Amino acid sequence: MKWFVLSLVLINGGIFLWFAFNEPPNVRSVEEGRLPRVAEIKLIQDQEAAPGAEPSDAVRSDSSRIEPDATPEISIESGPKNDKPGKGNELARGSVDKAGRECFGIGWFDDIAQARDHLQRLERARSGLDNTGVTERVTPLEDFHWVLIPPMDSREAAMARYRELVDRGVEAYVVPTGESENAISLGLFRSRKSAEDLLSRRQAENIDAVLANFPRNRISYALVFEGAPDRSLLTVDGGSAVGEGKLQLIEFSDCEGVATAEKNP
């Protein structure tokens, strides 16, 4: 009995030590998450305040969580990005290039997977389609407003500063790659006023934050075909891959250079 009791004590002690040494630290490392691409950013409507931080309705209603990964190019105190949208307009007739070829497009799809799906359904339903590829259109959207601490000299310095902020109850994320590598993100906002409110509070706490524009673009895709425009290609089996009435026929001024992606999406 004595040896049995001693064995139980040793087993319990071993379990306690294992959990003590393997408990994860209360620090979010830089590799835990990723900063979404601009097109993937989703604003949240109810963000919980960091433990110990002063609550703010502006932050909770307008801020979105950013997690580490590559970031787009940002500009401090600059205006909206003026990217030109890709070519493509709704048409009444086809576009004929200098070589005498007629071409048109079907779009716009939200992602290339939708374009592939629509093309595959078309090819199953009918033969003789002359698809020459897929093109994309970049449409600039309104910038978000990003409160951040500018990039530091090294990852070690950024992580040390990050831990200081977390210990003070400030929600923050380290940016691991991109133009803003080793910067510390404090909040991303749709509303400039909400961003400025957070910036003022952080600067009042002696946090050297700045306000930057976070540019966003929407990328849409269109299938490109040679031949006369055919409105029946907008639907397959009475429907479309993106919903009834959302696709349109598109004209292109140059059939030769319009397809920019792989030939068979």
Give yes or no: residues 223 and 202 share one domain: no
55 and 102 assigned to the same domain: no
Which DSSP helix (H) or strand (E) runs through 109?
strand 102-109
Same domain for 153 and 75, yes or no, is yes
234: Cβ–Cβ under 8 A, 6 or more apart, which residues?
106, 240, 247, 248, 249
Residues 112 and 230 reside in one and the same domain: yes
Whether residue 212 sits in one domain with residue 160: yes
Do 100 and 209 belong to one domain? no
148 and 192 together in one domain: yes
Query: Is the pLDDT higher at 253 or at 143?
Result: 143
Is there a single domain that holds both residue 150 and residue 211? yes
Q: With respect to residue 242, please indicate whether it lies within any of the assigned structural domains.
A: yes
Q: Are residues 205 and 122 in the same domain?
A: no
In a domain, residue 33? The reply is no
Q: What is the pLDDT of residues 9-58, one digit of tens each?
A: 566 556 555 544 444 443 333 333 344 443 333 332 223 333 333 333 33
pLDDT in tens, 163-219: 999 999 999 999 988 888 999 999 999 999 999 999 999 999 999 999 999 888 899
The whole-number average pLDDT for the span 128-133 is: 84
Domain of 47, in residue numbers: 38-79+144-216
For residue 156, tell me if it sits in a domain. Answer: yes
pLDDT of 262 higher than 80: no
pLDDT band, residue 60 (cuts 50/70/90): very low
Q: Whole-angstrom Cα distance, residue 52 to residue 164?
A: 13
Give tens-digit pLDDT for 70-129. Answer: 455 555 543 333 333 344 443 333 444 445 568 889 889 998 998 998 888 888 888 888
In terms of domains, do 212 and 222 share one? no
Task: For residue 24, tell me if it sits in a domain.
Answer: no
Predicted confidence (pLDDT) at residue 234 exceeds the cutoff of 90: no
Number of structural domains found in the chain: 2
Give the containing element (helix H, strand E) for 141. Answer: strand 131-149
3-state secondary structure (DSSP) of residue 178: strand
Are 67 and 155 part of one and the same domain?
yes
Tokens 């374009």 — which residue?
115
Provide DSSP, 194-243: HHHHHHHHHHHTT---EEEEEEEEEEEEEEEEESS--GGGG-BTTB-TT-
In a domain, 241, yes or no: yes
